[in-house]
Amino acid sequence: MTSLEGRSGAVDVVPSRDAEADAFEAELRPLLQEAVRLATGMLLSAVEAEDAVQEACVRAWGRRANRRQGTDLRPWFLGIVANQCREVRRGRWWRVVRSDKPGDSSDAHDGDTSALIDLRDAIAQLPYRRRLIIVLRYYLDLPFEEVAAAAGCSVDAAKALAQRGTADLQRALTGEPR
């Protein structure tokens, strides 16, 4: 298998058996860091994110024939990553393993770390679609056209979800009621 070194190890891309696989890997490789950032934002765990991206690469390879001719690979692949993250979160083991909240350790945190933990907790409380839009738009800095394509919605819906998601985050971080 061909792999890409991640923060905590290697992320396998696709089985490297022929020229088609090599070409697909070459096309996918520039998107892997962005995919890991998306998955990390969705799952709030670097290890889970790398596993999700690895599985998404395998799924993308298996579904490569489903990609419409002439469409951009980036939103198509990021959509697969987002769906994989949703499946991971729905899984039974996710609820068992992820029962602890980030920042529950007894270590003292400075103001920046506390704010980051608060933001991560607030993002974790967002409904799936709003979290996806927030991560695509603000973590990955994608234009709304690509956010909409990756999320499988219209550009107007992506903008509305981003607005609602940021309002939800603002309320959560300031303690305002809904």
- The CATH number for 171's domain is 1.10.10.10
Q: Are residues 88 and 161 in the same domain?
A: no
Domain boundary among 48, 73, 99: 99
Q: Are residues 13 and 60 in the same domain?
A: yes
> Does 122 share its domain with 169?
yes
What residue numbers bound the domain in which 122 lies?
Answer: 104-178
CA-based end-to-end distance of the chain: 49
How many domains does the chain divide into?
2
- Distance, in Å, from the CA atom of 167 to the CA atom of 127, rounded to the nearest integer, reads 13
Look at residues 71, 99, 127 and tell me which one is the last residue of a structural domain. Answer: 99
- Three-state secondary-structure class, residue 5: strand
Is the same domain home to 116 and 30? no
Quick one: 173 and 130 in the same domain?
yes
- pLDDT for res 175: 80
**Residue pair 34/78 in contact by the 8 Å Cβ criterion:** yes
pLDDT value at residue 109: 45
Alpha-carbon 118 to chain mean position: 19
Q: What is the pLDDT of residue 38?
A: 94
Same domain, 155 and 69: no
- CATH number, domain of 15, equals 1.10.1740
Phi/psi zone of residue 170: left (φ > 0), alpha (ψ -120 to 50 degrees), beta? alpha
Beta-bridge mates of residue 11: 4
Same domain? For 2 and 24 the reply is yes
- Indicate whether 117 and 39 sit together in one domain: no
Per-residue confidence (pLDDT) for residue 85, from 0 to 100: 92
pLDDT in tens, the chain (178 residues): 445 555 555 555 554 468 888 899 999 999 999 999 999 999 888 999 999 999 999 999 999 988 888 889 999 999 999 999 988 888 755 454 454 444 444 444 455 677 777 888 888 889 999 999 999 998 888 999 999 999 999 999 999 999 999 999 988 888 877 6
